[in-house]
Structure 1
Amino acid sequence: MTDTASPPGPDKGIDDTSDLAALAKGGRTNFIGFLLRLLARIPFLFIAGRLYGLDATGRFASALVLVELTALVCAMGEKRGLAQRLTDDDERHPANLVYDGMLLALLFSGIAAAFFWFVPGPLFPSGEFTALDRLIVLAIPGYALTEIVLAAQAYRYDIATTVRARAVVEPWTISIVAGALYFVPALSQSGLSLAYLASIYAGLATALWAFFRSYGRPLAWRPRPRYLHKVVMRALPLATADAVEWGTRRVDVFILGLFAAPAAVGIYYMAQQVASLPQKLKTSFEPILGPVITKNLKTKNYEAIAKQVCQVGFWIIAAQAGIGLALGVPGEAVMGLFGPQAVGGTGALAFLLMAEVVAATAVVSEAVLVYVARGRNLLISLATIVLQVVLTIVLIETMVAYGYGEPFKAAAAAIALMISLGLASLVKATLLTRILGHGINNWRWALVYAAAPAVLVGWLATFLPEWAELALGVPAILLTYGAVIWRRGFGPEDRVLFRRGVSAQASDNA
């Protein structure tokens, strides 16, 4: 297919190579971040499940849903919108533009935090909470500001700061503080909430340190009400899309909190946290995709955008499928790490891992749609979350009608998520194909060829003792899958992800 939309030019090939190198560098950095998250997340889940128990973990998870969703809305879509503002506005100092976003986030998040302080009921649907638990509302401003600062760093291709803040500082802080507070009688009941609050502000401090070194102080900055109002109006579709996309990953927890016991919410939260590890590979590409996409949109290089979406989409699916198999096949052993009761979440874990794989196409497509079709993308996202809510309630009620227990309610929520995200991926990829005039397809049959022997190896590992199943089985699954996908699925452009030298070369050419 001939691309009539992109302008000709001698630098097009160099630009495409440079963009691919930037995406590959971000992918390498974020894969390291994934490994760090994996190492840091497991201690927290172990502490939450074994020390605090599933009831306390479930109450914490219910509050967390609303806190993070509110914070994301208060960030006013700047996670992706900031890249466009920095690209379009060449006149103002970059730090001033970032400060505008930070001021808005601080204003809206402060109002939201005050509301939930005085009306804590939505945060704790079970009605059980302490005075110290209410302090979790203070995480809303910290979370929103961190989103904006990390987006600013990502605009300058600094993904390492995101990895440090999100994959090292935040998870290790919450693990260490939660473990320590459990042994303080006066604070142990609220240990999870206080540990989360500490982790958010530790991550913010890490992000701000890099931001001030990179952007410096603003120049003659002052609040401009008219401009800020314009930013808010422009950001509303982005903020809503962010909230809806994020909400599809959390509304299931909220609904479970209404229809199931706190222990069931705790089980689901454990499974969700394990399944969200490969999800980070996907969401971590968003900051680096934003600047690359906005640059090509400015020159109407739609062919390059389509290639980048397909390339990143395949990287994500290939990585998520391998990690999903490594965590899902020995699922009982993985969930057993967090306590005997958590094993009931194995079914939910399997469906959540599948949901992450089918969602990859929707996420990379949305990275472009938020710039070229905001309204239609928002409608699709809203339809997705409505479908998920309806499916979740129907499936949970079906489990109740047939007399199934709490773990089956958790699995029902996971099935609803998988179906909803799969349909969203199909619709968003089709829409983006029509807009760009180039096909969007992340699927390759090599994924099946790699998965088949990996599943066989994992099945054999389930006959080992649990410690050996995890210590030997998980690496064996990853090695088997990786060897096949490398030989059968990865071409020269795919392997750029693993070649560090190409980044520097592309930069020199550019």
Structure 2
Amino acid sequence: MTGTGTTPQADGGKGDLAALARGGRINFFGFVLRLLARIPFLLIAGQFYGAEALGRFAYALIIVELGSQLATLGLKRGLAQQLSQSGERSHTHVCYDALIVAAIGSAIMMGILFLFPQAMFPNSEVRGLERLLPITVLALAWTEIMLAALAYRHNIAATVRSRAIVEPWLISIVAGVLAYYSVGGGLIIAYVVSMVGALLTAAWPFFREYGLPHDWSPHPVKLWEMARRNLPVAAADAVEWGTRRADIAVLGLFFSPAIVGIYYVAQQIASLPAKLKTSFDPILGPVISKNVAADNKTAIAQQVRQVGFWIIAAQTAVALGLGIPAMAVMNLMGPEFGVGFMILGVLLAAEVIAAMAAVSEAALIYLARHRNMLLSLVMLGIEVVLGIGFILAFRAMELPTMTQAIGPAIGLALALGFGAISKAWLLKKIVHAPVSGWRWSLMWAAGAGLIVGFFAVMMPDWGQLAIGAPAIAIAFGAVLWFKGFGPEDRELFKMKKQEMDEPELPPPGSSGSNPT
């Protein structure tokens, strides 16, 4: 059922589906590059810095990344709608307005952190160049906005270069060099360098695409209106970010930095499947915003349903491949990390559960931003309450320390389950069509992966990682390909000569429906 007053796309939405598949393919390459770069960083951090230094690093990042999330004021995802509704106004001017809004927000956040650096390092003194860490707030905020602007023009390669090549490889290389020379605070310094590098990598194509803002000057009223309109999206972004960090924050209240460091490594490995969802983010936002502007609810439901299935399938394959040999994966980072294998298993399951909520939210931020924000706040509250509750319950049962530390991961998984169900239900009510990407064929594929995994864990660690993990993912993919994939699903794997051509851009000046 199409939205009222709208003519469905003449091609039945195949153009959007092809654009989504193309963007997903390009950014999947970026995911593979990021995966390859993340492994050396975790190896360097685990082997040369240790769990305690990683715990300190993880807590500092929580504070800085929270500042950058607030500073962008939701423009990471809201910029596409701002550009779609710009009317006769230059897209270049809209983008620079967004950069000014982010700069103002970043200046406030950086000022607070420069004045109170202990907020980043509550249990230790601030050392040397670590005081420069707050500058990454501006770097993160501007990078996100520039990449969002480029994604609106369907330039996905810029995101791959910035986020999947420069950022992860810089942090790995710099952390390795500083570890070799025994420089204190090497992880923090490496992070700063990588964020600045990612910003510069995003800035070059941004200036080439949008140029300088001729005949433009910041307009306080327009800037305030842009910030005000995006507050619900900013809150939703901050809450989504918070659901991936609240577990670390809760853990830090009850356990030593070394336990936090072990949990952080498990979290970083488990977040790899989540990067598959972000493979579609740069193209999903503009495509959905275009159909929201056209009130084409049928197309929105189809896109969410299709991308949801692609993401759930891919995340499940990666989660099984990393989760079944979880102890071998954690041992790779260092002997002290192996005890966190159960945490890794729960966190990988949580990422698969989260997939549907994340894809539904890509549409809800345009169609029901306030209700989406409220659901996100409830989800965050559930995570914190359950995480603390499980820790206290396990502690009362006198279970081992590492078992107690699983509590926040269980709370996260249950909260994400609530978010997935509630957000898919809300979106279904709005678009009057099914949006869930779940299919029972995923169970058959998972069963094949589990059977292969049963034999894989009998091998030594190197065999589990080099042979077992790929075999599990291949078994899952093979069954799903023959039992679960239809013609539209295989669109993701079709490489076409025409892909060198740019897809049709969302029509500038389109009028979107009012958020509810």
TM interval, short-chain normalised:
over 0.9
Task: State the identity %.
Answer: 50
In the alignment, what sits opposite 2:53? 56
Q: Which residue among 84, 96, 99 is the counterpart of 1:102?
A: 99
> How many residues end up aligned between the 2 structures?
505
Q: Find 2:198's aligned residue among 192, 200, 203.
A: 203
Does 2:213 correspond to 1:222? no
> Does 1:161 pair with 2:158?
yes
Match of 1:355 among 350, 356, 362: 350
Structure 1 partner of 2:6:
7
Q: Does 1:420 align with 2:419?
A: no
Is 1:20 the equivalent of 2:26? no
The equivalences for 1:55-204 within 5 A come to 55-185=52-182, 188-204=183-199
Cα deviation 1:99-127 (Å, max 9, x = unaligned): 11111111211221121122122212323
Q: Distance in 1 between matches of 2:353 and 2:199?
A: 31
Distance 1:68 1:106 in 2: 15
Structure 1 residues 471 and 508, CA gap change in structure 2 (3 angstroms) = closer
CA distance in 2, matches of 1:155, 1:284: 15
Cα separation, partners in 2 of 1:221 and 1:507, compared to 1, 3 Å: closer
Q: 1:322 Cα shift?
A: 0.3
Preserved CA contact (<8 Å) 2:22 2:499: no
Do the aligned residues in 2 keep the contact of 1:126 with 1:257 (CA within 8 Å)?
Answer: no
Q: Which letter maps to 1:109?
A: S
Secondary structure (helix, strand or coil) at the match of 1:431 reads helix
AA in 2 matched with 1:348: I
Aligned with 2:406: secondary structure? helix
Shift in Å, 1:128 = 4.3
Match of 2:155, SS? coil
Compute the displacement of 1:503 (Å): 5.7
Using the alignment, how far apart are the partners of 1:21 and 1:502 within structure 2? Answer: 13
Structure 1 distance, partners of 2:324, 2:126, is 36
Once the two structures are superposed, residues 387-432 of structure 1 have per-residue CA deviations (whole angstroms, 9 ceiling, x without a partner) of: 1110111111222222234322331111110000011110011111
Is it true that 1:448 corresponds to 2:443 in the alignment? yes
Structure 2 residue ranges without an equivalent (≥5): 506-516
Aligned to 1:35: 32
Deviates more, 1:133-142 or 1:261-270: 133-142
TM-score, with length taken from structure 2: 0.95
Partners of 2:178 and 2:432 lie apart in 1 by 56
For 2:44 and 2:111, the matched residues in 1 are separated by: 30
Residue 472 of structure 1: aligned partner: 467
Query: What does the per-residue CA deviation read over 1:4-26, in whole Å, with 9 as the maximum and x for residues that have no partner?
Result: 536235xx132611110110011
Q: Distance in 1 between matches of 2:503 and 2:162?
A: 29
Q: Hey, what does 1:408 align to over in structure 2?
A: 403
**Cα distance in 1, alignment partners of residues 308 and 5 from structure 2:** 22
Amino acid of the structure 2 residue aligned with 1:193: I
User: Which amino acid in 2 is paired with 1:497?
Assistant: L
1:508 and 1:375 map into 2 onto residues whose CA distance is 31
Corresponding residue of 1:346: 341
Q: 2:31 touches 2:279 (CA, 8 Å); kept in 1? A: no
- Measured in 1, the distance between the counterparts of 2:383 and 2:154 equals 34
Structure 1, 426-435 or 104-113: larger mean CA deviation: 104-113
Aligned counterparts of 2:145 and 2:93: Cα–Cα separation in 1: 13
User: What residue number does 1:495 align with?
Assistant: 490
TM-score by length of 1: 0.96
What's the RMSD between the two structures over aligned residues?
A: 1.7
One-letter code aligned to 1:254: A
**Secondary structure of 2:214's match?**
coil
Q: Is 1:248 equivalent to 2:243 in the alignment? A: yes
Contact 1:21 1:503 (C-alpha < 8 Å) held by counterparts: no
- 1:174 deviates by 0.2
The answer to whether the 8 A contact 2:152-2:282 is kept is yes
Quote the residue 1:305 is aligned against: 300
How far residue 499 of structure 1 moved from its aligned partner, in angstroms, is 0.5
- Measured in 2, the distance between the counterparts of 1:509 and 1:113 equals 39
